[in-house]
Amino acid sequence: MANTFKLRIATLDGQIFDGEAEKLLVRTIDGDVCILPGHISYVTALGMGEARVYVNGEIKRAACIGGLLTVSKDEVRLVPTTFEWAENIDLERAERARAAAEQALKERADRSNYEITAAEARLKRALVRSSVAKYL
């Protein structure tokens, strides 16, 4: 059995990664899943969290939000809604987004259910982006 597998990561904006990987750790809607060479076929929706791509003995971290993961005999495809490598995340911007979302949630009495749900989602995204960016 090979020590790597073909991994393709693409968003609507284009190809993010196309190469060999040793391991992929990603958050799904049911929790974290680790893909290794020889993994059985698998399809799941992605959640919101950190993705770790293991390449040449190194870990590449990213914020990965929403989308789909498919594993087949020949390749693994990660098609997230949003995917940002740690080195591309603007930590100050993520922290500002976190603060704004927290402020909106403090004022929940003045907000509609939709506005509260949107603020909660913005807060979760900001927390994921901040935690991934802090690894640098």
Which pLDDT belongs to residue 105?
Answer: 87
DSSP 69-104: EEE-SS-EEEEEEEEEEGGG--HHHHHHHHHHHHHH
Total domain count, the chain: 2
Contacts of 58 (CB under 8 A, 6+ apart): none
**Domain final residue, candidates 56, 71, 87:** 87
Contact yes or no for 78/69 (Cβ under 8 A): yes
Question: What residues of the chain score a pLDDT lower than 50?
Answer: none
Residues 16-41 have pLDDT tens digits of: 999 999 999 999 999 999 999 999 99
Which pLDDT belongs to residue 104?
Answer: 85
Residue 42 shares a structural domain with residue 56: yes
Which pLDDT belongs to residue 110?
Answer: 79
Residue 119 shares a structural domain with residue 131: yes
Residue 14 shares a structural domain with residue 60: yes
Residue 24 shares a structural domain with residue 61: yes
Residue 12 shares a structural domain with residue 75: yes
Residue 68 shares a structural domain with residue 128: no
Which pLDDT belongs to residue 33?
Answer: 97
- Quote the domain boundaries for residue 114: 90-135
Residue 68 shares a structural domain with residue 96: no
Contact yes or no for 97/126 (Cβ under 8 A): yes
Residue 9 shares a structural domain with residue 64: yes
Residue 29 shares a structural domain with residue 55: yes
- Provide the angle, in degrees to the nearest 10, between the axes of the packed helices 113-133 and 91-106: 150
